[in-house]
Structure 1
């Protein structure tokens, strides 16, 4: 729910549904959960940022100057010198809160140990079944389309966001370098006219993917600055003021009224004084 104090939010409008809010263009909130664990921070001459877990089993790249629109790339490794065990990507327009939900879950899993952040999906375990990651969407009214070509697809009630889970075999390299991944989530009018997208490869732990779907489907709006919202937000999202409007500037008449005395002179105000002697009460009758 929105905070009670408007001064505590970073924005002047609420955007609903939240998956149309777009990025805040500030990466710090999503980096903080991992930095707080003491992960190593590096950057290059282009202002790209790289985080590494102390044991080098997880690496994150925040790549505003990368080769494509994949702004956030997170890979995990069983062997620091081997190919990634799993990879997740968020493009440059993905709401920052969605990325933060993922990195927060990743920080928790990393503290629990490799069994949590390197655990591949397991259909025999309810919590580790890939379909479990879709449960937040289903509980919040997303509808399941008829499966086609081995793909389960869910759509938001307004049909402006979708999530696909591919059940067939996929090429591991394609999953790490393209949008052809086990989980594919996007917002927009269609898969080609997307506002943003996120992908997760086959062996991404189900709990981490669930953090993404839970955040995306959360009914609470997100704060944004109206002058920084994208055109698709203005046309498709519900925008409401997040701060009370500024009071209008006073008119000359308002100024004159304010200068008038608000009380009459003291001598014109009749009042009883508690110190004024009162006439004596009449004595008893005879």
Structure 2
């Protein structure tokens, strides 16, 4: 099959980086974030209220790495950080940034009442606690063993997390546990609703559209590749193709669930 043939790939977390416009499009076209080039050659997107900034490293021909910083007010020190390494599926990044932008636009930063916790979303999809979690951490392992969600236990100063002096409170790793294909980190203080939406995308079985050359070679034995129906566009799959909406609405969370 030619390398650029459009296909559907599942699960999402192993499908490859995808189209970065899924992230940047809604921020600029819907929520009014302002793009600007940085001195390092990347792009920075700033929210209208200037309390959130998305930085993108990597040109259009290479996988992007994404970092979001949140601020209590413009010009203050960062309050929290969310970062996504190169290779992270754009759908996972977009789930976080679109929820964040929507919450800021609506003038509420924490959507706890809008959905389940990340841990409960994963549990409902068959992710189970790992019996090999490092000391001080609680891991949930994907059913296929090729991804985990990690929660660091205990307290540490938020500014040490933001500056990467200590491990983040939450992280997502996909691929081999010893050598992840990509990872995402979320420090204490990250708004709850965007974190939950990122967890929903992270655990989404898919399928999602890709060209065959976008699928990481190391994942080929771990993914299911489906041909697109003939004559269809290469845009995101419709509910009829996937069998359900890509990011289903979250259900209300029971009390006292782990994040």
Tell me the TM-score range normalised by the shorter chain: 0.7 to 0.9
Of 87, 95, 99, the residue aligned with 1:101 is: 95
Alpha-carbon offset, residue 150 of structure 1: 3.0
From 19, 23, 37, the counterpart of 1:43: 37
CA RMSD of the aligned region, Å?
Answer: 2.7
Q: Displacement of 1:148 after TM fit?
A: 5.0
Give deviations 1:159-182, integer Å, cap 9, x for gaps: 001000112123434422448201
| 1:29 corresponds to 2:29 | no
Listed as ranges, the gaps of 5+ residues in structure 2 are 232-259
Which of the residues 193, 218, 223 maps onto 1:207? 193
Q: Pick from 104, 113, 117 the counterpart of residue 132 of structure 1.
A: 117
How many residues matched?
A: 222
Per the TM alignment, residue 135 of structure 1 is displaced from its structure 2 partner at its CA by: 1.3
- Alignment match, 2:222: 236
Query: d(CA) in 1 for partners of 2:85 and 2:24?
Result: 15
1:227 to 196, 209, 213: 213
Report how far residue 236 of structure 1 moved.
2.0
Work out which structure has the larger RCO, using CA pairs closer than 8 Å and 6 or more positions apart in sequence: 2
Q: For the structure 1 residues 137 and 87, does the alpha-carbon distance in structure 2 shift closer, same or farther, using more than 3 Å as the test?
A: same
For residue 220 of structure 2, give the secondary structure of its aligned residue in structure 1: helix
Q: Residue in 1 aligned with 2:203? A: 217
1:207: Cα distance to partner? Answer: 0.9
What is the CA–CA distance in structure 2 between the aligned matches of 1:11 and 1:39, rounded to whole Å?
33
Distance in structure 1 (CA, Å) of the matches to 2:137 and 2:67: 24
How many angstroms does 1:39 deviate by?
Answer: 1.7
Matching residue of 1:163: 149
Task: Indicate yes or no: 2:72 matched with 1:85.
Answer: no
Alpha-carbon separation, structure 1, partners of 2:64 and 2:171: 13
Distance, in Å, in 2 between the alignment partners of 1:38 and 1:132 is 28
Task: Give the distance between the partners of 1:93 and 1:229, measured in 2 at CA.
Answer: 10
Q: Shift of residue 80 of structure 1?
A: 2.0
Go from structure 1 to structure 2 and tell me whether the alpha carbon gap of 1:227 and 1:148 turns closer, same or farther (over 3 Å shift). Answer: closer
